[in-house]
Amino acid sequence: MQIRIRPISSLNAEVKTPIWSLKKVDTKKKMTKQPEIKFTKLFIDGQFVDSVNGKKFDAINPSTGKKLCDVTEGDEADVDKAVEAARRAFKLGSKWRTMDASSRGHLICKLADLIERDAEYLAALETLNNGKPLPEAQLDMVFAVKCLRYYAGWADKIHGQTIPADGSSLVMTRKEPVGVVGQIIPWNYPVLMCAWKFGPALAAGCTIVLKPATETPLTALYLAHLSVEAGFPAGVINVVNGFGDTVGTALTKHPNIQKIAFTGSTAVGRLIMENAAKSNLKRFSLELGGKSPIVVFPDADLDNAVSTCFSAIFSNMGQCCCAGSRTFVHEDVYDEFVKKAAAMAAARKVGNPFDEGVEHGPQVSEKQFNKIIDLVESGKKEGASVKCGGKKWGTEGYFIEPTVFADVTDDMRIAKEEIFGPVQTILKFRTMEELIERANKTYYGLAAGVMTKDMNTALMFAQAVEAGSVWINCYDATTAQTPFGGFKMSGQGREL
C-alpha cells in the first residue's frame, strides 16, 4: 500500500502554476483546427505495414459518433510477425542487447523530448479520438513525458547483489530483462498508458508488442512513428491494432511472449490469467477495475472536500480506474455536502472538447454511453435521489450530464458496480467502525481517499481500508515515482 498525505497547511494555499506544466500555448488557435490523422497501419519491425488479412475497422469521433478514418485491423498472423520482430531485436548480440544501458536511457529521453516537441499535436489527436477536453489531454502529455524521463534514469541503475553465502563460493545476482513483453492498454489515457508501459520495459531492456485500445489507436501509432525518429532499433517497439478477442488473445496465448502487462477490466484480466496459465506460464501484471471510496469526516474543510471529491469522480468524465466512485460523507455534514456537490456538478461546462472553457466531453464510445445510462436508470429505479444530471446531453455524440445521486445505499447497483462514468454516488455514514466495514465490502481494492484534519483519523482509515493507494486530503496523486495497483479483484502486481 502507498499512502500519500497532503499537508493541512497547503489546503488553502495560493494555487501556483505547477513546475510540470506545459509551456504557455495559444489554446484558442489550437482549438480551431482538427488535427491531421497521419498513421493508421500496423507498426512492425520499424515500419508501418498492412495487415495480413487486409481488414480495417472504423475509428470513431465520440463527440459526434461519426467515423474519423479506417484503421488497419491486425489478427493472430500479425501478432506472430510482431513477436518475431521483437525476438530478433532481443536476440543475443543484437544492437538492442549490446547497447549500453545508459544509451537505452538516452533513447527513452529522446522519445520523451519528441513527445514534448509534438505535445500540441498529440493532445489534439487524443482529444479527437478519445473525447477528453483538450486541457486534460495536454496534461496527459506532461505526465507521459515525466514518466518516460523517470524511467530513462533507471536504465543504468538496475543492479544485482553480492551475497555472503556459506563456504568459499562467491554468489552474485544479475537482474535481466524477461524478453518480449506483450502490452495491452486501455482507452481512457492512451498516451499516458503507453508511457507507463513503455518506460519500465524499455529501461529494463525488453522488447515490446503493444495492442492499443480498439477505440483509441491513433496516438499510439504516432508514438511508434516517434520511436523511429528517436533511434530505437527496428523491432524493439511494435504496435498491432485490433480487437481483444483476436489480437489480445493472440498476445496472451503466444508461447514466445514472456510477460503480459495489462490495464483494463477485471473480466478481461481473468481471461489473461487463464491464457497465461494455459500457454507458457508467462508472467503478468494486471491493473484492473475499482469501486474506490473517498470519505469526508465532519472536521474536514467542507469546500475543499467537495472540490476534491468532485475531481475524484468527474475528471476524464469519470473514466478512471481509481475514480472516487463511492463518496462517503459523515451524517453531520451530509446535507450541506450534497447541496454543494450538486451545485458544482451543475456548473460544470459540457460540450465540444476542443471548445475553450469546456471541462466535460463525451464518453469514449456508444457502448460505454449505454452502460452508464443503464446504471443511472437503475439508480433512479432503486430509490436514489438525482440531485443533478441523470441523462444524455446534446443531440449527437456520447455526452452524459455530470450526475449526482444522494440517498444512495450499499445494495444499489450504482454503489456496487464500476460505472466508469460521470456519476457521483453520495452515501451517509455515522461511525468509523461502520465506515470501514462498508468501504471494504467490495470485490475491488484499488484506491481510497480520506478528508479530515485529524491525522489519527486519517491514519486509522488508511490502515484499515483495503486499497493499494490511500490519499489523505487529496486524491489520485499518482506520479512516476509511486507504485500503483490494487488488492482483490483490482489486479495483480504494480504499475510504475
Beta bridge partners of 72: 56
Give me the sign of the Cα torsion angle 140, 144, 146, 147. Answer: positive
287 is catalytic: yes
- Alpha carbon distance 272, 2 (integer Å): 26
Cβ neighbours of residue 244 under 8 Å, at least 6 residues apart?
Answer: 184, 214, 268
| Cβ 398 vs Cβ 369: under 8 Å | yes
Which residue in 412, 345, 402, 408 sits closest to 375, CA to CA? 412
Beta bridge partners of 183: 210, 261
Say which of 309, 320, 321, 322 is annotated catalytic.
321
Query: What is the CB-side half-sphere exposure of residue 182 using CA atoms within 13 A?
Result: 32
Gyration radius of the chain over CA positions: 23
Say which of 136, 215, 287, 401 is annotated catalytic.
287
Amino acid at 20: W
- Alpha carbon distance 251, 255 (integer Å): 9
382 is catalytic: no
* 130-146 CB burial, b ≥16 within 10 A, e <16: bbbbbbbbbbbbbbbbb
The label of the residue with cell 477495475 reads: 289
- Alpha carbon distance 226, 68 (integer Å): 22
Question: Which residues are the active-site residues?
Answer: 287, 321
